[in-house]
Structure 1
Amino acid sequence: MLKHLAADFDLWLCDIQGHGDSDHGGRFHGWNRSAELAVEAFEAGRAPFGEVPRFALGHSFGGVLTSLILAKHPDLFQRAVLLDPVLFPPALIGVMAVSEVLGLHRRHTMARKSAARRKHWPDRAAAYAGLHGRGTFKGWDDAALWAYVEHALKDVEDGVELKCRPSREAEIFSSYPRRLWSSLNKIVTPTDILHGQHSYPFVAKAVARVTALNSHVRAQVVAGGHCFMQQTPEDSAERVRGFLLP
Structure 2
Amino acid sequence: MQLLPWRHATREGFTLRGWHTPPSGKPLLHFLHGNGFCGRMYEPMLRQLSNDFDLWLCDVQGHGDSDHGGRFLGWNRNAALAMEALDAQGAAFAGVPHYAAGHSFGGVLTALILGEQRQRFVRAVLLDPVIFTPAMIMGMSVGELTGVTRHTPLARQARARRKHWPSREEAFTLLHSRGVYKGWADDALQAFVTHALQDSADGRVELKCRPSREADIFSSAPDRLWGLLGKVRTPTMVLYAEKTFPFVTESVARWRAMNDAVQALQVPGGHCFMQEQPDMAAQHVRAFLLPD
After TM superposition, the structure 1 = structure 2 runs for residues 70-85 of structure 1, keeping only pairs within 5 Å, are 70-85=114-129
> Following superposition, which runs of at least 4 residues in structure 1 exceed 4 angstroms of deviation?
none
After TM superposition, the structure 1 = structure 2 runs for residues 28-107 of structure 1, keeping only pairs within 5 Å, are 28-107=72-151
After TM superposition, the structure 1 = structure 2 runs for residues 117-156 of structure 1, keeping only pairs within 5 Å, are 117-156=161-200
After TM superposition, the structure 1 = structure 2 runs for residues 157-236 of structure 1, keeping only pairs within 5 Å, are 157=201, 158-236=203-281
Give the C-alpha shift of residue 115 in structure 1.
1.1
Give the C-alpha shift of residue 6 in structure 1.
1.1
Which residue number in structure 1 is paired with residue 153 of structure 2? 109
Report the structure, 1 or 2, having the larger strand content.
Answer: 2
Higher relative contact order (CA 8 A, sep 6+): 1
- Which structure 1 residue ranges, 5 or more long, are not aligned? none
Number of residue-to-residue matches in the alignment: 246
Distance 1:46 1:190 in 2: 23
Give the C-alpha shift of residue 50 in structure 1.
3.7
3-state DSSP of counterpart to 2:248: helix
Q: Supply the RMSD in Å over aligned alpha carbons.
A: 0.7
TM-score by length of 1: 0.98
- Which structure 2 residue ranges, 5 or more long, are not aligned? 1-44
Give CA deviations for 1:142-186 in whole Å, capped at 9, x if unaligned.
100001100100111221101111100000010000100000000
- Counterpart residue identity of residue 138, structure 1: K
Give the C-alpha shift of residue 108 in structure 1.
0.8
1:27 pairs with 2:27: no
Give the C-alpha shift of residue 95 in structure 1.
1.2
- Counterpart residue identity of residue 136, structure 2: L
After TM superposition, the structure 1 stretch with the greater mean CA deviation from structure 2, 142-151 or 101-110, is: 101-110
Give the C-alpha shift of residue 7 in structure 1.
1.2
Distance 2:51 2:164 in 1: 34
After TM superposition, the structure 1 = structure 2 runs for residues 10-25 of structure 1, keeping only pairs within 5 Å, are 10-25=54-69
- Counterpart residue identity of residue 226, structure 2: W
Give the C-alpha shift of residue 49 in structure 1.
2.1
- Counterpart residue identity of residue 175, structure 1: S
